[in-house]
C-alpha cells in the first residue's frame, strides 16, 4: 500500500490481511465471530475448506456456516455423510496432502465416533513417521450443557482430549478469541481442536476494529484481583465473571483466569496468580474425577504449595449423564451461587 491519506489507518495481519483500525468496534455475536473467522480463512488461503454434517445447505447445526455455501461453493463447503470416523479421516488425509481442512463435528459426544482417527492417527502420525508428516488439521466441535439437549449432546469432554500429546486444545470464551483463534490454529503444523460452548453462540460482545489472530499458547487474566484466583474456561467463564462481580460487592477482590488453551496448559500464568492471591478455585463443567480441574489443581500443588493459605477447591458438574429437565440440568452444572459461596468460605467471609 502506498503512503496515501489512508495508509496510516491500516495494519497488516498474518498473510497480508488488512484491518481498518480507524473503524469503530463492531458488536456481533459469538456465532458471527466464528463465521467471520471461517470466511476470512477461506478468502486468505485457497487450501482451506470446511467439511462436516450439514455445514452446507443447512448452514451448520448451530448456523455458524450459514451462507458460506452460496459464497464459496460445494468444493470448499462440503457436506459429508453421517460418519464422523469417515470425514475426520478424510480431513486427516487432506491435511497430509497439503490442504488446510476445517472439520466440523456437531457435538463433542459425537467426536467419540472419530476417536480412533483423532488419537491413533491425527495425534500420532508426526511421531510415527519420524517427523516426516505433519497434520495441519483443525477440528471444531460444540461442547457443554445449558440448552436442554440431554445426555446425547451436552457433555464437556474437552478435558479428555487435553490428555492427548500431539494436539492443541482450544476453548474460546470471548468474541475476540472466537474470531481470532481459528487463523492461528490453521497456521499450526499440527492438529488443533476447538471446543465452542453451545451457550455462547448467541452471546453478544464488542469486536475491536483491529482484531486479528490471537495466540493459542497462553491463558488470560480476565479480571485482576488479590484475594482469590478463580480459574475457568469456555462457557463457565462468564459465570465466574458474574461471581467475581458479586464477590467484589462483598469486599472480596477475585482474580479471574481464563485458561483458553487446555493443551498446552499455561502453568506459569496459573502459578503466578495463585502466588499473588494464595487461594484458588477451579471451575470446570467437566466431571470432577480425572478432570482438567484435577490437572490444574495438581500443578498448583506442585508449583505453589507453600503459597497456599487454604487447600485448592474445585466446582465441577455432577457425575451423572446430563439431565434433560431444566431444573435438573441447572442442578448438575456449576452455578454462580456455588462459586460465590466457595470463594466466601475460602476467604473466611462466610456468614
Mean pLDDT over 150-166 rounds to 95
- Furthest C-alpha separation in the chain: 65
Q: Percent of the chain having pLDDT more than 70? A: 93
SS (H, E, C) 46-94: CCEEEEECCCCCCCCCCCCCCCHHHHHCCCCEEECCCCHHHHHHHHHHH
Strand order in the sheet with 254-258: 220-223, 254-258, 228-232, 280-287, 313-317
Distance CA 302, CA 283 (A): 19
The answer to whether the CB of 49 falls within 8 A of the CB of 75 is yes
Query: What is the tens place of the pLDDT at every residue in 298-330?
Result: 999 999 999 999 999 999 999 999 999 999 999
Instruction: Please state the φ and ψ torsions of residue 303, each to the nearest 5 degrees.
Output: -105, -15
Q: In the chain, what are the domain boundaries? A: 11-207, 220-346
Tens of pLDDT, residue by residue over 326-340, are: 999 999 999 999 999
Residue found under cell 474437552: 158
Confidence (pLDDT) at 351 = 47
pLDDT tops 70 at residue 9 = no
Distance CA 38, CA 245 (A): 34
Model confidence pLDDT, tens digit, residues 257-282: 999 999 999 999 999 999 999 999 99
User: Among residues 283, 153, 271, which one has the least CA distance to residue 230?
Assistant: 283
Q: Within 10 A of 134 (CB to CB), how many other CB atoms are there?
A: 15
Say whether pLDDT at 179 is over 60: yes
* CATH level 3 topology of 11-207: Rossmann fold (3.40.50)
The stretch 10-32 carries a mean pLDDT of 60
Q: What residues act catalytically? A: 84, 153
CATH of span 220-346: 3.40.50.920
Q: What is the mean pLDDT of residues 95-106?
A: 97
pLDDT-derived band at 18 (thresholds 50, 70, 90) equals very low
The b/e string for 145-158 (b: 16+ C-beta within 10 A; e otherwise) is: bbeebeeebbbbbb
pLDDT, one tens digit per residue, over 197-250 is: 999 999 999 998 888 899 999 999 999 999 999 999 999 999 999 999 999 999
Instruction: Check if 11-207 and 220-346 are the same fold.
Output: yes
Q: Can you state the angle between helices 292-304 and 267-277, rounded to 10 degrees?
A: 60
Amino acid at each position: 500500500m502506498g503512503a496515501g491519506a489512508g495508509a496510516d489507518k491500516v495494519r497488516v495481519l498474518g498473510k497480508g490481511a488488512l484491518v481498518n483500525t480507524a473503524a469503530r468496534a463492531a458488536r456481533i455475536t459469538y456465532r458471527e465471530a466464528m463465521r467471520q473467522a471461517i470466511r476470512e480463512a477461506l478468502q486468505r488461503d485457497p487450501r482451506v475448506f470446511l467439511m462436516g454434517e450439514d455445514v452446507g445447505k443447512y448452514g451448520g447445526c448451530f448456523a455458524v456456516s450459514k451462507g458460506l455455501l452460496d459464497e464459496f461453493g460445494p468444493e470448499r463447503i462440503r457436506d459429508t455423510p453421517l460418519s464422523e470416523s469417515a470425514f475426520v479421516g478424510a480431513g486427516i488425509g487432506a491435511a497430509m496432502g497439503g490442504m488446510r481442512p476445517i472439520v466440523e463435528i456437531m457435538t463433542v459426544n459425537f467426536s467419540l465416533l472419530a476417536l480412533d482417527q483423532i488419537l491413533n492417527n491425527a495425534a500420532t502420525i508426526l511421531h510415527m513417521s519420524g517427523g516426516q508428516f505433519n497434520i495441519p488439521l483443525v477440528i471444531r466441535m460444540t461442547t457443554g450443557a445449558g440448552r436442554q439437549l440431554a445426555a446425547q449432546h451436552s457433555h464437556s469432554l474437552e478435558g479428555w482430549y487435553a490428555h492427548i500429546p500431539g494436539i492443541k486444545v482450544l476453548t474460546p470464551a470471548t468474541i475476540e478469541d472466537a474470531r481470532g483463534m481459528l487463523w492461528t490454529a490453521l497456521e499450526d503444523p499440527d492438529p488443533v481442536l476447538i471446543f465452542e460452548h453451545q451457550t455462547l453462540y448467541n452471546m453478544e460482545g464488542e469486536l475491536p476494529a483491529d482484531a486479528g489472530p490471537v495466540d493459542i499458547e497462553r491463558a488470560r487474566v480476565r479480571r485482576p484481583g488479590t484475594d482469590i484466583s478463580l480459574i475457568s474456561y469456555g462457557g463457565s467463564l462468564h459465570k465466574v465473571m458474574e461471581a467475581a462481580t458479586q464477590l467484589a460487592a462483598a469486599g472480596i477482590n477475585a482474580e479471574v483466569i481464563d485458561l483458553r488453551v487446555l493443551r498446552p496448559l499455561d502453568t506459569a500464568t496459573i502459578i503466578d496468580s495463585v502466588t499473588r492471591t494464595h487461594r484458588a478455585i477451579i471451575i470446570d463443567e467437566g466431571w470432577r474425577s480425572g478432570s482438567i480441574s484435577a490437572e490444574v489443581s495438581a500443578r498448583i500443588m506442585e508449583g505453589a504449595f507453600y503459597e497456599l493459605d487454604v487447600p485448592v477447591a474445585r466446582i465441577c458438574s455432577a457425575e451423572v449423564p446430563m439431565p434433560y429437565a431444566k431444573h435438573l440440568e441447572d442442578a448438575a452444572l456449576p452455578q454462580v451461587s456455588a462459586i460465590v459461596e466457595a470463594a466466601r468460605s475460602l476467604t473466611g467471609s462466610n456468614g
